Amino acid sequence: MHMSIWALLLLQVLSVLASTSQAAFRAPAYDDGLFTPMENLSALSETDFSVLGHPAFPNYNVRIKKSAFCDETVSAYTGYIDIEARHIFFYFFESRNDPDTDDVIFWTNGGPGCSSSLGLFMELGPCRISDGNSTSFHPESWNTNANIFFVDQPVGVGFSYAEYGESVSTTEEGAKDIAAFVFVFFEHFSKFKGRAFHMTGESYGGRYVPLFAAEVYDQNARLAAEGYTPINLKSVMIGNGMTDLLHQRTSSFEIQCTNASFAPTLSIAECVQMRQMIPRCEQRLKESCIDIFDAVDCAAAGAYCDTYFSEPFRRSERNPYDISLPCSPEERAENLCYPVTAHIRAYLSRPSVREALGVDPSVRANFTSCDATVGTAFREHMDIFHHATQDYLGALLERGVRVLIYVGTYDWSCNWVGNERWTLEMQWSGREAFNKEALKPWAVGGDLAGNGRAGLVRSAKGLTFLTVDSAGHMVPYDKPKEALDMVQRWISGEGF
């Protein structure tokens, strides 16, 4: 959900430069008999996994079963994406409205290294967990009018696992796995073929989702040439995303020292010093991380900026995901400042729940919401700086894939000011038209008079930037009605 201290990264990157690891993979276990389209999910068993494969991806299998839990009004399924010796866990819920015609949404949480069970059980899923022992119906779930996936990715996150210590440490690696899984799923369950598909994520999902969607789009051309049905990728949606670190880091000045979001949280002296450091920090990050990437210099620049833009906030003992709330360092480390995460961990550690979901017995008994090993691997490889992530979004827009960037105004870690700045500066053919549009109020159902303002929105040429007032990093958790209205209007093409 958040970026770690840059000072540690400088030492870690030196170690990565000195050595590279090679994962040991099994030989492909593909069998032509696995490719037997099931046509419909109703054919799946509640007790045993069905194993699916595809000749286009001989190293990939999908295990899937019915899992009656969470929402009694719809069919639910769980399983694994099997990539040789790596196994990625997922949940799938059918739409409460019409699963045979409604769109399909893919959801991932961020971290890097955080389980999408947080999105499922805390934010936008069909049920919520309040006490660690049971679930309760969530009326504002995003499966109200859509079929939806929640994926624990990359390997090592949540219930995902590797047999011999294999790992994924860059988004580029993870994108290939996700794109293959998406195709295998749609190819097997023909009722979803051609259905509108939306790829969605939060936090580090601002890095994941653009690359995942680009891989799906680029994969389509090859698969179509081979006679397969392309994935009907319609849009990407990113909530409080970490897409452009340069703007996110320096824009923390506005969040901590002005009324752009909440009342100033730092002293005048700290804010004056921070303002003076903005141009110097931006210059160092641009020269070492963006213009010409140098791992050592980039890590040093990040550590330098962190001293002025992150450390003061950490000392303030505010919640980095909602600056209106206090949160001690101990609470942040234990439960990300939200006690509900402890209940989710307790629920998913219960043997009966794991058995019902079909969790592999090799997965450790105590569930972990965010895996530190995965997060460290991504930071050591400086994944956030591999490429300008927003360029992937610009390229998707050029190809007719719509993009929604939504941000809760109380978030510090991936704040709305930084997200707005990169959307205005992104290079693409619609930039001029987008920048000419002023931010305007939006309300639930479009009813500004009756419902009052929900936030601000700017939209043109397929790109929409939207804020949600008084929401933090996890918009669907803080503002479930506004979040559901937003996603329903987005996938329907209604607009704001």
- pLDDT, one tens digit per residue, over 332-371 is 888 889 999 999 999 999 999 999 999 999 898 789 889 8
Residue 411: active-site member: yes
Domains belonging to the chain, first-starting first, are: 32-244+385-492 (3.40.50.1820)
Residue 48: active-site member: no
Confidence (pTM): 0.90
- Closest by CA to 477, choosing from 337, 314, 357, is 337
Q: Using CA atoms, how far apart are residues 139 and 134, in angstroms rounded to an integer?
A: 16
Comparing 2-11, 71-80, 435-444, the range with the smallest average pLDDT is 2-11
Token pair in block for residue 343:
């209940």
Question: What letter would DSSP give residue 145?
Answer: S
Backbone phi, psi, residue 216, to 5°: -65, -45
Instruction: Give percent of the chain above pLDDT 70.
Output: 92
- pLDDT, one tens digit per residue, over 383-410 is 888 778 999 999 999 999 999 999 999 9
Per-residue pLDDT at 105: 98
Per-residue pLDDT at 1: 52
> Which residues, 6+ apart, have CB-to-CB distance to 112 below 8 Å?
154, 204, 207, 208, 374, 375, 378, 379, 383
| Candidates 152, 306, 473, 485; catalytic one | 473
Dmax (CA) for the chain in angstroms is 69
Cα–Cα separations (whole angstroms), residue 397 to 97, 204, 212, 230, 478: 29, 20, 14, 18, 29
Q: Using CA atoms, how far apart are residues 420 and 411, in angstroms rounded to an integer?
A: 13
- Burial of 466 (C-beta count, 10 Å sphere; 0-12/13-18/19+): buried
| Candidates 203, 261, 288, 369; catalytic one | 203
- pLDDT, one tens digit per residue, over 36-75 is 666 677 778 888 898 888 888 888 888 999 998 888 899 9
Per-residue pLDDT at 25: 26
- Position 5 pLDDT exceeds 70: no
Token pair in block for residue 282:
């931006």
Per-residue pLDDT at 292: 84
Token pair in block for residue 119:
């999105």
Residue 324: active-site member: no
Per-residue pLDDT at 254: 94
Which residue type is seen at 66? K
Which residue type is seen at 399? R
State the pairing for strand pair 127-129/135-137. Answer: antiparallel
| Candidates 411, 413, 459, 478; catalytic one | 411
Per-residue pLDDT at 315: 87
Per-residue pLDDT at 11: 44
Q: Using CA atoms, how far apart are residues 278 and 464, in angstroms rounded to an integer?
A: 27
CA angle 240, 215, 165 (to 5 degrees): 85
Of the chain, the end-to-end C-alpha distance in Å amounts to 28
Q: How confident is the model at residue 187 (pLDDT cuts 50, 70, 90)?
A: confident
Q: Mean pLDDT of all residues in the chain? A: 88
- pLDDT, one tens digit per residue, over 442-494 is 999 888 888 889 999 999 999 999 999 999 999 999 999 999 999 999 999 99
